[in-house]
Amino acid sequence: MPAVCRAPSAGVIRPGEGPARPPGFSTNQYIGSCTNEGRPRCWPSCPRLWSRGRGSTVESTASLSERVREVVRERRIDPGTQVEEVRRAAAEVVAAHERRSLTGAVRPLDEPDRMVGLIVADVSGFGPLQPYLDDPTVEEIWINAPDRVFVARHGLHELTPVVLSAGQVRELIERMLQSSGRRLDISQPFVDAMLPGGHRLHVVLEGISRDHAAVNIRKFVHSRTNVV
């Protein structure tokens, strides 16, 4: 069984499991504990680049993403606004990788076209969160810790297979805040901002929010059957 809990109306997490509403919603309620028994559910959109159980495919993907970043820098492409240029660069890098695989120098990719999309999300979007931001069934996203990333669908929240490093979390936060024109530092440890697409971002600086920065994204959804 995947880790599934009912998403409450508001609250902050006590020490334990489960996604936390960031401070500011309510300090009087707690989210119920959510156990992680069994294998977490993974949806087709979950990128293997950031998933639990990394392997050689992940290493190849990270290497390809870095190569695309080099191309982006060389061509002076703005990854935030010139997404199609980033996609073109990613397609070129993936095609070059596949040509090398014919000589046995590298392993061929299982899904080259999908890999292009993952690289674009990594370089231009919000990395491992981008598939969930693009998924219309996802209503809310939490990062409680680098290895505790949750989403809510139809009023239920679940632990995702996404595993990040502390550096990746910081990079994601910086990228999201940059897109919203806000900043986060000791003088301003709580930030509310609006992401592209109308999604509401709430970030709490690490130290204020236990050992890790906490992130909450409440998505702007055009129609819902359940409101979290």
How high is the pLDDT of residue 207?
72
- Predicted confidence band at 3 (pLDDT cuts at 50, 70, 90)? low
How high is the pLDDT of residue 48?
39
- Predicted confidence band at 22 (pLDDT cuts at 50, 70, 90)? very low
Work out the average pLDDT over 7-30: 39
Q: What sections of the chain are H helices per DSSP?
A: 56-74, 83-101, 112-123, 130-134, 166-180
Report the C-alpha gap between 220 and 228 in whole angstroms.
Answer: 12
Size (the chain), residues:
228
Cβ partners under 8 Å of residue 67, min gap 6: 93
How high is the pLDDT of residue 76?
95
- Position 26 pLDDT exceeds 80: no
Under a CB-based contact definition with an 8 Å cutoff, are residues 99 and 128 in contact? no
- Predicted confidence band at 140 (pLDDT cuts at 50, 70, 90)? very high
The topology (CATH level 3) of 4-43+138-218 is Beta-Lactamase (3.30.450)
Q: Which long-range contacts (CB under 8 A, 24 or more apart) does 145-152 make?
A: 145/211, 145/212, 146/212, 148/17, 148/19, 150/18, 150/19, 150/34, 152/7, 152/19, 152/228
Report domain extents, the chain: 4-43+138-218, 53-129
In percent, how much of the chain has pLDDT > 90? 34
Burial degree of 84 (CB within 10 A; 0-12, 13-18, 19+): exposed
Under a CB-based contact definition with an 8 Å cutoff, are residues 189 and 213 in contact? no
Work out the average pLDDT over 162-173: 88
How high is the pLDDT of residue 139?
95
**Other CB atoms within 10 A of residue 109 CB:** 18
Tabulate helix, strand, coil % of the chain (nearest 5).
Answer: 35, 20, 50
Give how far Cα 127 sits from Cα of 27, 33, 116, 131, 138, Å: 31, 28, 13, 8, 16
The answer to whether the predicted template modeling score (pTM) of the entire model surpasses 0.85 is no
Instruction: Specify the residue for token string 């993907």.
Output: 61
Sheet holding 214-218, edge to edge: 4-6, 156-159, 148-153, 138-145, 214-218, 200-204, 190-194
How high is the pLDDT of residue 208?
74
Q: Render pLDDT for 210-221 as a digit per residue (tens, 0 to 9).
A: 778 899 999 976
Q: Identify the residue with better confidence: 120 or 93.
A: 93
Report the C-alpha gap between 186 and 33 in whole angstroms.
Answer: 30
How high is the pLDDT of residue 19?
52
